[in-house]
Amino acid sequence: MRKATPWILAMVIIAALAVPAFAKAKKIFVTIGTGGVTGVYYPVGGAISKMINAKRKEYGIRSSVESTGGSVYNINAVVTGDLEFGIAQSDRQYQAWHGKADWEGEPQKKLRSVFSLHPEIVTLVATEESGIQALSDLKGKRVNIGNPGSGHRGNALDIFTTIGLDPEKDVHAEALKAAEAPKMVQDGRIDAFFYTVGHPNGAIQEATSGKRKVRFVPITGVDALIEKYPYYAKAVIPVEDGLYPMATNKKNVESVGVVTTFVTSEDVDADVVYTIVKEVFSQIEEFRKLHPALAHLTKENMRNGLTAPLHDGAKRYYIESGLISNP
Ligand code: GLU
């Protein structure tokens, strides 16, 4: 074999140095657990993947998204190692870390937070013909509270408890996936559905733009909920922005909200987490443009609502970029 000339050797060395150490050995595949395809998690997971995949030669990471049942499913899949990343409501992250609600007595100590994303609002839509104008009108009605595995199912149950309705006796509760509920409303097979989601989104567009007239029902009279739990805050559905022109409401609708978060497990490689955080944060202007729900994100507000400890890879980026001080 001919001896390699020095300049070829130099080029090989330079090329090798340009690739992060963790990516040299093999291509790393990561999957992000999202939600229904007509929600916001799915396109937002897609936006994160798109940014990472654009640099796949440099990073050696190939990211893909999976449509799932939502927050609870994603947290469970992340801690068992079935998925590397998941998108989850801040209330669900809190409950999983502290061993509450779906994780009663079983705190999920492998769970790690990475960053937070857009605000999510507990959204209740109902057909006009159902006569549901306020939460108390839900009594006796057919209401989708969401599939087990979704984040919003817990919000619907919290609201029922707060207003004194028993979801097993006082309403006909359905457990449909969020992507199925709009058609069921339009077909008149359910009266209303809950969906905790960023705005605008395809599911609510679908629910409000059919033949059957549909309205948003305000979530009011639930101050006890905000006082009791640290993760709920007052929020409005910005109907006045013209997001859902065919809904019968013309004014913004009062509700409560949480924050969307991006989570992982302590077992996921710190270099991979670091690379993803760095990519999203250093291109935040681009990231904001990838979905209207992301428009108001800042490097500062992207750390709201995180309960589980920061993943080491995320922490490294935040310290390095001066967003948090080195403890
Ligand atoms: N908040 C919903 C859930 O946790 C998902 C919302 C979305 O997909 O945008 O199940």
Q: Is the pLDDT of residue 23 over 80?
A: no
How many alpha carbons fall within 13 Å on the CB side of residue 231? 23
Contact 82, 115 (CB under 8 A): no
- CATH superfamily name and code, 19-118+260-320: Periplasmic binding protein-like II (3.40.190.10)
Ligand 1 within 6 A of CB of 120: yes
The ligand 1 atom nearest the CA atom of 198: 9
Residue from 29, 22, 24 nearest 61 by CA: 29
- d(C-alpha 298, C-alpha 102), whole Å: 31
Give per-residue burial for 270-308: e unless 16+ CB within 10 Å, then b.
Answer: bbbbbbbbbbbbeeeeebbebbbbbeebeeeebbebbbb
Single pTM value for the model: 0.92
Q: Residues 6 or more apart from 137 whose CB is under 8 A from it?
A: 130, 131, 217
pLDDT of residue 326: 77
The pLDDT confidence band at residue 94, using thresholds 50, 70 and 90, is very high
SS3 label, residue 150? strand
Q: Is the pLDDT of residue 325 over 50?
A: yes
How far is ligand 1, taken at its centre, from the CA of residue 270, in Å? 26
How far is ligand 1, taken at its centre, from the CA of residue 144, in Å? 14
Here the tokens at position 213 are: 């007239």
Ligand 1 within 6 A of CB of 39: yes
- d(C-alpha 55, C-alpha 34), whole Å: 22
Q: Is 131 exposed, middle or buried (0-12, 13-18, 19+ CB in 10 A)?
A: exposed
How far is ligand 1, taken at its centre, from the CA of residue 198, in Å? 8
Summarised one tens digit per residue, pLDDT across range 103-160 is 999 999 999 999 999 999 999 999 999 999 999 999 999 999 999 999 999 999 999 9
Q: Is the pLDDT of residue 44 over 50?
A: yes
CATH topology of 19-118+260-320 equal to that of 120-258? Answer: yes
How far is ligand 1, taken at its centre, from the CA of residue 45, in Å? 12
Summarised one tens digit per residue, pLDDT across range 181-219 is 999 999 999 999 999 999 999 999 999 999 999 999 999
The pLDDT confidence band at residue 1, using thresholds 50, 70 and 90, is very low
Summarised one tens digit per residue, pLDDT across range 146-159 is 999 999 999 999 99
The pLDDT confidence band at residue 21, using thresholds 50, 70 and 90, is low
Ligand 1 within 6 A of CB of 162: no
How far is ligand 1, taken at its centre, from the CA of residue 16, in Å? 41
Q: How many CB atoms lie within 10 A of CB 132?
A: 21
Q: How far is CA 304 from its chain centroid?
A: 13
pLDDT of residue 216: 98
The pLDDT confidence band at residue 2, using thresholds 50, 70 and 90, is very low
Three-state SS for 233-282 is: EEEEECHHHCCCCCCCCCCCEEEEEEEEEEEEECCCCHHHHHHHHHHHHH
The domain segmentation of the chain, as residue ranges, is 19-118+260-320, 120-258
Ligand 1 within 6 A of CB of 197: yes
**Least confidently predicted of 20-24, 56-60, 173-177, 239-243:** 20-24
pLDDT of residue 110: 98
Summarised one tens digit per residue, pLDDT across range 210-265 is 999 999 999 999 999 999 999 999 999 999 999 999 999 999 999 999 999 999 99
Tell me the angle at which helices 152-163 and 90-98 cross, rounded to the nearest 10 degrees: 90
Ligand 1 within 6 A of CB of 257: no
The ligand 1 atom nearest the CA atom of 44: 9
- d(C-alpha 89, C-alpha 94), whole Å: 9
Question: Sign of dihedral through CA atoms 242, 244, 246, 252?
Answer: negative
- d(C-alpha 313, C-alpha 271), whole Å: 6
Q: How far is CA 94 from its chain centroid?
A: 14
pLDDT of residue 5: 54
Ligand 1 within 6 A of CB of 35: yes
- d(C-alpha 148, C-alpha 156), whole Å: 12
Q: Whose CA is nearest to atom 2 of ligand 1?
A: 151
pLDDT of residue 69: 98
Contact 176, 193 (CB under 8 A): yes
> CATH classification of 120-258, choosing from 3.50.50.60, 3.30.413.10, 1.10.3720.10, 3.40.190.10?
3.40.190.10
| Average pLDDT of the residues of the chain | 94
